Amino acid sequence: MKKNKDIEVSVKETTREVNGETQAVHTLSIGKKTIGEIIEISSKKYEVHMNDNEVSLASNLDQAYEEIIRQWNLFQ
């Protein structure tokens, strides 16, 4: 049986100007590879960007983090 190994996921928070509006952007990375970005649309709406422009919506930041990590785990 294969043993699971711990993987460190880092989150970098920056801001980006989109259509004249400043938005918070959370970038999730494993090592040097970016696995997804979360853009805060409003306090209860987050846009989740994964590989190749795959986009979904989340109602809170934790749910958005989980979605990116879940998708990354599926395809590794």
Confidence (pLDDT) at 38: 95
Per-residue pLDDT tens over the stretch 6-59 = 889 999 999 988 788 899 999 999 999 999 999 998 889 999 998 777 789 999
Backbone phi, psi, residue 9, to 5°:
-105, 125
User: Which among 39, 70, 73 is positioned nearest to 53, based on CA atoms?
Assistant: 39
Domain ranges of the chain: 9-74
What's the pTM value of the predicted model, to 2 decimals? 0.83
User: Which among 58, 76, 68 is positioned nearest to 10, based on CA atoms?
Assistant: 68
CA angle 56, 70, 45 (to 5 degrees): 30
